[in-house]
Amino acid sequence: MEQNPYLPIKMRLIKNLVETEDRNINTFTLEFLNKQDEENFKYLPGQFAEISAFGHGEAPFGIATSPTEPGILKFSVAKVGCVSNALHLMEEGTMVGVRGPMGNSYPIEDFKGKNVVIIGGGFAFTTLRSLAVYMMDEKHRADYGDITVIYGARNPGLLLYKDELAEWETNPNINLVTTIDKECDGWCQRVGFIPTITEQVAPSSVNSYAVVCGPPVMIKYTLPVLEKLNFPPERIITSLEMRMKCGLGICGRCNIGTEYVCKDGPVFTMAQLKELPSEY
């Protein structure tokens, strides 16, 4: 982080990839312009950054790359607002601004020696990808037990990182379960909503953490399943979204009770969330 936390570093958009069939999510690959910027940007899975589309504004997005992938940052972003629309239309080679890394990370130190079950729905798979890639890295893989990923989308075209998922299918380092909401031609994986599939897969809660990200309704119905599997709230992790501006815990809008999602989050345990007002 630079001394003035409001000043972004410049990064070059080297790839603007349409990620999903509905063309609503693109993955932006940004390249660091120099070693110094990259060294200053030390991040962990779960953190986010504020991206400037100059002329349009700045918005916070979770980092989809893992720190084990040097030289670049990736962000997979849905086209919903002013900044995300500008980014979707941006020509490759354009300079963007990046401030960060911001927020806390997934508790990767606590995960050491434990099994980790990653449960994701829809496009809330970006920082989960970062986490999976980080733990699967050859330098880190021995630190963790079984890694299970349960990932679902409405239909196959809406899954992110399809090439990578295909590779994970046969990768012995990870147990991947993908699902879609409704049966469709050419799909030979599971069919059903995330809570149902989680119940079927029934990952053991013994010596395990669960990390759940997705639409609120998915989280709402997945939590009881995890409780039934005896995951205690302290070992169920999620990441929250909020409208943010400064990303520094100052501008005042992203709080849930005493906690600023930008600075104290975005990663919380269910045990922590139970102590906070239900205002998110």
Binding site for other proteins (CB under 8 A): 1, 3-8, 10, 52, 54-59, 80-82, 84, 91, 93-95, 97, 241-243, 245-246, 248-258, 263, 277, 279-280
Cα separation, 124 vs 50, in Å, equals 17
CB of 54 to other proteins, least distance (A): 5
Whether the CB-CB separation of 57 and 82 falls below 8 Å is answered with yes
The residue among 18 and 80 lying less far from other proteins, judged by its C-beta, is 80
The residue among 17 and 80 lying less far from other proteins, judged by its C-beta, is 80
The residue among 70 and 252 lying less far from other proteins, judged by its C-beta, is 252
Long-range contacts from 77-84, C-beta under 8 angstroms, 24+ separation: 77/25, 77/26, 77/27, 77/28, 78/24, 78/25, 78/123, 79/24, 79/25, 79/26, 82/56, 82/57, 83/51, 83/52, 83/53, 83/56, 83/57, 83/58, 83/59, 84/59
The residue among 202 and 250 lying less far from other proteins, judged by its C-beta, is 250
The residue among 94 and 173 lying less far from other proteins, judged by its C-beta, is 94
Q: Which of 38, 90, 33 lies closest to 65 in space, CA to CA?
A: 38
CB of 70 to other proteins, least distance (A): 23
The residue among 4 and 170 lying less far from other proteins, judged by its C-beta, is 4
Cα three-residue angle 250-251-254, rounded to 5 degrees: 95
Burial 141-153 (b: 16+ CB within 10 A, else e): eeebbebbbbbbb
CB of 26 to other proteins, least distance (A): 15
CB of 36 to other proteins, least distance (A): 16
Who contacts 56 (Cβ-Cβ below 8 Å, separation ≥6)?
82, 83, 85, 86
Which two structure tokens, joined as six digits, stand for 192?
Answer: 């059903």
Cα separation, 115 vs 132, in Å, equals 12
CB of 225 to other proteins, least distance (A): 24
The residue among 232 and 257 lying less far from other proteins, judged by its C-beta, is 257
CB of 154 to other proteins, least distance (A): 16
CB of 124 to other proteins, least distance (A): 12
